Amino acid sequence: MTLPLILLSNDDGIGADGIHHLARALRTFARVIVCCPSTEQSASSHSLSLNRPLRIVEHGQDEFSVSGTPADSVYVALHQERVLERAPDLVVAGMNHGLNLGMDVFYSGTVAAAREGALNGPPSLAVSADNGADPIAAAKKGAEAAQALLQLGLTGGHLFNLNIPPQGSWEFVSTRLGKRVYSGGLVERHDPRGQAYYWV
């Protein structure tokens, strides 16, 4: 029997614990190819690198990083036989360190990686977990969602966003995007020459 093929990416980079926990959980029922940014790219949204070259680094069997954004990583994987020899059955992004709620989905590199997958055909799932959630248990829950999506046999680029709270029964519940209120705005600082600069 041929195992389903899952492309796994993230926005936290190749060194993030979340992607490795999720890869282990997904590998209990699927072949998993990891292709994610080489460095942390949180809140990079759905940007593609059009004006600079991208490099692929192999980190071991079925594990790659790309010198670009989360969307770059998925795009490269889907179009480069060095990474994927065939189209994946599912694209999964995560497991993000922190939730992606409400309007976060427009900023999130995690959701953008999944969205890039969905735009290219395969069903896609973004997985995010609250910082207080047990990461191994949360990864298993994300893998459970991925397996359920594979069993549905979806086609046509469906996109799902899964958020795992810090505690509770973790039953799957369908919901809609709400409005998330942000505070803090810009923090203004000055360099040694008196010039202003800003932190978001």
Place of tokens 């977990």: 129
Q: Is 13 left (phi over 0), alpha (psi -120 to 50) or beta?
A: left
Task: Identify residue 170 by its one-letter amino acid code.
Answer: W
Render each residue's pLDDT in the chain as its tens digit; 200 residues: 799 999 999 999 999 999 999 999 999 999 999 999 999 998 889 999 999 999 999 999 999 999 999 999 999 999 999 999 999 999 999 999 999 999 899 999 999 999 999 999 899 999 999 999 999 999 999 999 999 999 999 987 899 999 999 988 899 999 988 887 777 778 899 999 999 998 87
Closest by alpha carbon to 89, among 111, 115, 121, 66?
121
CA distances from 26 to 34, 56, 67, 102, 190 (A): 11, 23, 24, 26, 47
**Backbone φ, ψ for residue 33 (5° rounding):** -110, 120
Torsion angle in degrees (nearest 10) through CA of 74, 78, 80, 86: 140
pLDDT the model gives residue 82: 94
Measured distance CA(112)–CA(43) in Å, rounded: 9
Closest by alpha carbon to 23, among 149, 148, 136?
136
pLDDT the model gives residue 135: 96
**Residue 100: partners with Cβ closer than 8 Å, 6 or more residues away:** 108, 110, 111, 126, 128, 161, 163
pLDDT the model gives residue 29: 98
What is the CA angle 50-53-55, rounded to 5? 130
pLDDT the model gives residue 179: 83
Q: Is the peptide bond before 103 cis (omega within 30 degrees of 0)?
A: no
pLDDT the model gives residue 32: 98
